[in-house]
Amino acid sequence: MRPRLALLLTLLSCGAAASAAPTGPVVDLERSWRLELAPRLDDGSWATVRLDLNARVWTLMGEPVVFCTATWKLGTVQLKTPRSGDRVFDHIRSNTPAAAWKRVALTEARFVVPLDRRLGGGRVDTAWIVCDIGAAYPEGDPRPSFNVPGSPPWGRLLLNRVPGLDGDKALQGADHWLPADEARRFLADPGTTLRASAHQLDTLRLTLDVDALRAFDERVLADEEARELERRRQGRRGAAADPMSAMFDEVDAEVLPRRQAAASERDAAADRQQAERAEARRQRVERLRCAGARDLDSGGASFAAAAAAALATAQRCVGRLEAFRDAASGRWGYRAPSGETRVEPRWQAVLPFADGRGGVHDGKVWRLVDRDGQIVGEGRWKALRRFAEGLAPASDGERWGLVDADGRWVLAPRYDDLAEFSDGLAAFAERGAWGYVDAQGRVVVPARYRRAEPFAAGVARVTRLAGRSGRCDSYREDWEQLEIDRQGRELRTVRTWTERGELCLSR
């Protein structure tokens, strides 16, 4: 009863149509493990980690959902700092400053979780689910884990063999996955359970973000050298002066402050980079519009509550929907990758489904629909573009603005044109020039370019007119394409070229 009740509550809370009944097996499996890990780091450093892993596998609307999260406790990290020589720093929770400790995050940790299906005669069949915990913070850290429920297709749900050391390569082979029908039967079998023995879990990849600790170690070394210099000075007071020692001390007194300042700056830069990475992960979670990081309990300590929050919002994220055109009527709708129709083809045009929303055109205006084809909100627009990062450009027929997943204007129409969001920014057009705006409507890069491409990894390419020369038949335009960062700083020139003016106009 519990899985069916949870599914019913989900449908009610999301406003799904009563006709949207499950189309596949109803499954709900959950288990926790405690693992002792010893990941090796670069340059010979190493760490010991105790990880409490939680995994839940269920089905929603006939599609599989996998949700994994974890908390962890660092036993010891031995780091070799570049300037430390033979010295090795041992970082233990009890003797590491809180400011440095909270910069460390466990990232890119994936496991394969074993499922056993009991057969007749005492036989057991085993398959594995890939479990990605995203990024988790240490036990007791108030920041939440970064993870969302994933919805792999049935044909990429269960591995038929456990990956070895080449785990990533094993995930690429199509013959390493159970076919979709077999995966459904395996998961829905009443004899299928998640295995209790933690030692059967195999790590695919585990990386510790320890750059901040290494920068912290360099700062500690510089501070210790400064204190040692002061001790030497104090020891010589009242004693016979040693010119050579005094000369070396004066050199140290000149050099050490600069070394301290450089180490402090590297320490601060590592702190900023970690914060930027954490914010990027948070934004990725928010863009998926599933269980956002703020919806999960601190550090994933209460997995049941986190999974319940995920279940209540996962309807927008489960599976993928594809646009398709009905050959008989010429109308458009949406269907699951399995071919099952989810939204009947009754629209003249549709946009690709994204962020739990589809855009449909009834011949007059664009509207939003959810996964069940139900109209969302009261918004009607003359033009609409696909959702990205939880927002979609929309036009009232004259100007462009932004709408959210509920069809409400979050940025009133004000631009001549507006592109889809990418990497937190969207290109906008104003009086023939392009710039970039953020999700709050703040102009980050003023409109000064002729063309503007989407941002990716903090960089975008823009094109501008560098100069004109000549008249009529001899008219020339010099163009250049540049790379800029998110603050609009021009990083480098990608290419330059000259175009001939074919038409003589008044310029």
Where does a domain end: 235, 251, 270?
Answer: 270
Asked whether residue 99 falls in the same domain as residue 161, the answer is yes
Query: Which pLDDT belongs to residue 338?
Result: 65
Q: Per-residue pLDDT tens for 44-56?
A: 677 888 888 888 8
Tell me the CA distances in angstroms from 215 to 73, 229, 256, 260, 280, one per residue in order: 21, 22, 16, 11, 22
Please tell me whether residue 196 adopts helix, strand or coil conformation.
coil
C-alpha closest to that of 294 among 310, 274, 314: 310
Strand order in the sheet with 341-347: 322-325, 332-335, 341-347
Query: Which pLDDT belongs to residue 105?
Result: 74
Q: Per-residue pLDDT tens for 209-258?
A: 777 777 777 777 777 777 777 777 776 665 556 666 666 667 667 777 77
Query: Which pLDDT belongs to residue 10?
Result: 40
What is the distance between the alpha carbons of residues 64 and 150, in angstroms, rounded to a whole number? 8
How many domains are there within the chain?
Answer: 3
Where does a domain end: 234, 252, 270?
Answer: 270
C-alpha closest to that of 445 among 485, 412, 491, 394: 485
What is the distance between the alpha carbons of residues 115 and 187, in angstroms, rounded to a whole number? 9
What is the distance between the alpha carbons of residues 229 and 223, in angstroms, rounded to a whole number? 10
Q: Is residue 358 part of a domain?
A: no
CA 57 to chain centre: 21
Residues 6+ apart with CB under 8 A from 132: 68, 109, 110, 147, 150
First vs last Cα of the chain: how many Å apart?
Answer: 75
Query: Which pLDDT belongs to residue 483?
Result: 93
Query: Which pLDDT belongs to residue 95?
Result: 62
Tokens read off for 127: 């398959």
What is the distance between the alpha carbons of residues 298 and 296, in angstroms, rounded to a whole number? 6
218 phi and psi, to 5 degrees? -65, -40
Query: Which pLDDT belongs to residue 139?
Result: 75
Q: What does the H/E/C string look like for 214-263?
A: HHHHHHHHHHHHHHHHHHHHHHHCCCCCCHHHHHHHHHHHHHHHHHHHHH
Tell me the CA distances in angstroms from 124 to 158, 202, 225, one per residue in order: 16, 19, 62
Query: Which pLDDT belongs to residue 286?
Result: 53
332 class by beta-carbon count within 10 Å (0-12 exposed, 13-18 middle, 19+ buried): buried
C-alpha closest to that of 306 among 317, 294, 316, 322: 294
Q: Is residue 333 part of a domain?
A: no
Asked whether residue 93 falls in the same domain as residue 164, the answer is yes
What is the distance between the alpha carbons of residues 246 and 254, in angstroms, rounded to a whole number? 12
Asked whether residue 156 falls in the same domain as residue 220, the answer is no
Query: Which pLDDT belongs to residue 166?
Result: 58
Flag the least confident range among 22-36, 270-284, 480-494.
Answer: 270-284
Q: Report which of residues 251 and 415 the model is more confident about.
A: 415
pLDDT above 90: residue 481: yes
Query: Which pLDDT belongs to residue 96?
Result: 65
Q: Per-residue pLDDT tens for 358-412?
A: 899 998 999 999 877 889 888 899 999 988 888 899 999 999 999 988 899 989 9
Q: Is residue 378 part of a domain?
A: no
What is the distance between the alpha carbons of residues 223 and 191, in angstroms, rounded to a whole number? 61
Q: Is residue 416 part of a domain?
A: no
Query: Which pLDDT belongs to residue 244?
Result: 66
Q: Is residue 134 part of a domain?
A: yes
What is the distance between the alpha carbons of residues 246 and 369, in angstroms, rounded to a whole number? 78
pLDDT above 50: residue 192: yes
Which stretch, 38-42, 159-163, 218-222, has highest mean pLDDT?
159-163
Q: Is residue 417 part of a domain?
A: no
Asked whether residue 430 falls in the same domain as residue 490, the answer is yes
Q: Is residue 319 part of a domain?
A: no
Query: Which pLDDT belongs to residue 302?
Result: 45
Query: Which pLDDT belongs to residue 394?
Result: 95
Q: Between β-strands 392-395 and 417-418, what pairing exists: parallel, antiparallel or unpaired?
A: unpaired
Q: Is residue 413 part of a domain?
A: no
Asked whether residue 55 falls in the same domain as residue 129, the answer is yes
- Taking residue 115's Cβ as centre, other Cβ atoms within 10 Å add up to 22
Query: Which pLDDT belongs to residue 18?
Result: 33
* pTM, rounded to two decimals: 0.51
Q: Per-residue pLDDT tens for 84-142?
A: 555 666 666 566 666 666 667 777 778 888 999 998 888 889 999 988 887 777 777 76
Please tell me whether residue 33 adopts helix, strand or coil conformation.
strand
Q: What is the dihedral of CA 370, 376, 379, 381, to 10 degrees?
A: 20
Asked whether residue 163 falls in the same domain as residue 286, the answer is yes
Provide the domain limits for residue 462. 422-507
**Residue 144: its H or E element:** none
Q: Report which of residues 281 and 207 the model is more confident about.
A: 207
Asked whether residue 79 falls in the same domain as residue 24, the answer is yes
Q: Per-residue pLDDT tens for 260-319?
A: 777 778 777 777 776 776 666 656 555 544 434 334 333 333 445 445 545 444 444 455
Asked whether residue 43 falls in the same domain as residue 157, the answer is yes
Asked whether residue 112 falls in the same domain as residue 192, the answer is yes
Asked whether residue 178 falls in the same domain as residue 196, the answer is yes
Asked whether residue 246 falls in the same domain as residue 200, the answer is no
C-alpha closest to that of 70 among 128, 127, 130, 146: 146
Asked whether residue 264 falls in the same domain as residue 278, the answer is no
